Chain A
Amino acid sequence: MSIEVREIVRRFGATAALEGVSLHVARGEFVALLGPSGSGKTTLLRILAGLEGSDVGSVRIEGEDMTGVPARERRIGVVFQHYALFRHMTVLDNVAFGLRVRKRRPSAAEIARRVRELLALVQIPELERRYPEQISGGQRQRVALARALAIEPRLLLLDEPFGALDALVRKDVRRWVRGLHDRLGISTILVTHDQEEAMEMADRVAVMERGRIVQCDTAEALLREPATPFVAGFLGEATRLDCHVRGGVAHFDPLPLPPLRVTLPDGPAQAFLRPGDIAVHAGPGPCTVRALRDAAEERARLVVEFGGVLLDATMAGGQPVQRGASCRMALRGGILFGADGRRADAEPVVRVLAG
């Protein structure tokens, strides 16, 4: 189902949690709400679920206004951050809950059949007699998902659902959940503060900052054309550097970085340089290699230091380097924001130094 969020404002006392948020989720789409804690993403999720009211604005599901519709009539499945499983019920009873509280309740046999189907779908059919405290975090999450799916939701909301899982399990579960979404085709909104998770799982990522959605786009577009310095700094692994633009050229002094050509007015600017933008050449130079990653691969990642500033960079080929070796840096490009907030792509002044 399509979801239309319009100009939602929500205040808690003097502080505004949401300041005019609009968002459109197409039928079957997977959208991530990404932002640091306190950016309002969980509040937005709770308003969608009907657990929280909004001061201004509306939520429409398939054109139908949800204002004043209580949570229990919205048919929106929620997987809560800590799963919120019913602790005194077995896995089976947890999943069956949404079916048993219905006004026109299906027969016991029908409920049992549906629950078994769902448990098979989330691949934990053997756990139906267990209690939540007897199963692992990953299994609890699957129960929470099955329970939310039992009500045949029009929209699925996932509130930081992978936070409590350890890193190894998380990767698998992420892919599995996305696969499940593709199979079932339910519109899904994921709340997370993990950019990798958001970009891997979602069709589009809505980046939130202080109660606003600052940009909502595909992961690729967010990386290539960040709308604000906040987005540029929050996504990817860019290093932020202050620079100065004079006559269409950005200078990084005192850092030993070559200048970049950019169409911005003269004055101070912020540069966001991704590891791939900074090329490191081994050999005598003013910089020092501080750390190495993926050293065996063609384009080894490294951390280079100059005068106390650490930069994420990429090896430009040539001799392998050791930690502590001296080196020099070249730039392949970067994204700059002028003092007025305008963005411009930068490119090297002279295409030398390659190899």
Chain B
Amino acid sequence: MSERFRPAHADAPWARALLAASAVLVAIVMLVLPLAAVFAEALRRGLPVAIGAILDEDSLAAIRLTLIVAAITVPVNLAGGIAAAWAVAKCDFPGKRVLVTLIELPFSVSPVIAGLTFVLIFGAQGWLGPWLQARDIQVIFAVPGLVLATIFVTFPFVARTVMPLMQEQGRDEEEAAATLGASGFQIFSRVTLPNVKWALLSGVLLCNARAMGEFGAVSVVSGHIRGETNTMPLHVEILYNEYQFAGAFAVAALLALLGLVTLAAKTMLDHAAGRRAGGAA
């Protein structure tokens, strides 16, 4: 009996190695290489050129617009996401299942269709078009349209990260708080919200990353007016189509960097939350 003991549920060592190797390989080819290529391409003619491309007037406008859209989208979806998750997890009402399905709608519908819907509603030919035009309000091909489209596409992130946690936690603590004399608002702010704060932050970061990177829906409602309604992803596409590779890759690299920073922050948060829960157990 010289063979080492192996638990019944463990796979053969060669099988485990093969699985791990293929996972790493796929990750490198599909995720790491493209990202590395973007940075390599952006820096091919040196850092000053890349920085110069980013400091271009139109590029700066695109960056500013992207940040503005994200700055409006994230708080809106934070509030909406908390409200939706809270309603689903802590309350019983008819149509709850429909609401859960609706929350996931933006994940299943193509963003382009979402953008077209907004054009259909708010565009010059749309349902509300004449009413809006009479009051000189521009939604489509303007910032409000971009914000609307982005909110729609990124709505599920906060709701979907917070909801499962709230459901798992149940209502016990809220009920205990009520018997101890807490008002509805006190229960929400002192019990419900602190219990999901890590998941909430993680959802906010994901929502932010997606809001900055959204292309499809935004592309439809933007109108591609350079320096006015171009967000970073749209700007990258324009530069690329005009063969301005240096500029395209520089802006793309910046966008990727924003996404990576978000991801790193989220990972650190998850780790901190895990350590808090795990270390205490």
Contacts and interface: CB of A to CB of B under 8 A. Distances in A.
B179 A88 contact: no
A151 B180 contact: yes
Interface stretch (B97-105, B170-178, B204-212): B170-178
Contacts of A49: 179
Given A87-B195, A134-B280, A77 B176 contact: no
Given A84-B172, A88-B195, A131 B280 contact: yes
Interface in A65-121: 70-78, 80, 82, 84-88, 97-98, 101-102
Contact of A51 (B178, B181, B190, B194): B178
B255 interface: no
A266 interface: no
B176 A84 contact: yes
Contacts of A85: 173, 176
Interface string B151-181: 0000000000000000000001101111111
A6 to B, nearest CB: 22
A150 B181 CA distance: 11
B173 A101 contact: no
A72 B176 contact: no
Contacts of B178: 50-51, 70-72
A133 interface: yes
A86 B280 contact: no
A200 B183 CA distance: 37
A84 B280 CA distance: 17
A283 B235 CA distance: 102
Interface string A24-55: 00000000000000000000000001110000
Given A88-B194, A133-B280, A133-B281, A98 B180 contact: yes
Nearest to A78: B179
Contacts of B181: 72-73, 75, 98, 101-102, 151
Interface string B249-281: 000000000000000000000000000010011
Given A75-B181, A131-B280, A101 B190 contact: yes
Contacts of B194: 88
A51 B177 contact: no
B244 interface: no
B186 interface: yes
Contacts, number: 71
Contacts of A147: 176, 180
Contacts of A150: 180
A134 B281 CA distance: 6
A84 B190 contact: no
Contacts of A86: 173, 176-177, 191, 195
A101 B183 contact: yes
A336 B280 CA distance: 57
A150 B176 CA distance: 13
Contacts of B195: 86-88
Interface string A252-269: 000000000000000000
Contacts of B176: 78, 80, 84-86, 147
A76 B181 CA distance: 9
30 contacts: A51-B179, A71-B178, A72-B178, A72-B181, A72-B182, A72-B183, A73-B181, A77-B179, A78-B175, A80-B176, A82-B172, A84-B173, A84-B175, A85-B173, A86-B177, A86-B191, A87-B173, A88-B194, A97-B177, A97-B180, A97-B182, A97-B190, A98-B181, A101-B182, A102-B181, A133-B277, A133-B280, A134-B281, A148-B179, A151-B180
Given A77-B179, A84-B173, A87-B173, 19 more contacts: A51-B175, A70-B178, A72-B178, A72-B182, A75-B181, A76-B179, A84-B172, A85-B173, A86-B176, A86-B177, A86-B195, A97-B180, A101-B181, A101-B182, A101-B186, A101-B190, A133-B277, A133-B281, A148-B179
9 smallest CB-CB distances across A and B, nearest first, come from: A84-B172, A98-B180, A84-B176, A71-B178, A101-B182, A78-B179, A88-B194, A72-B181, A101-B186
Interface of B: 172-173, 175-183, 186, 190-191, 194-195, 197, 277, 280-281
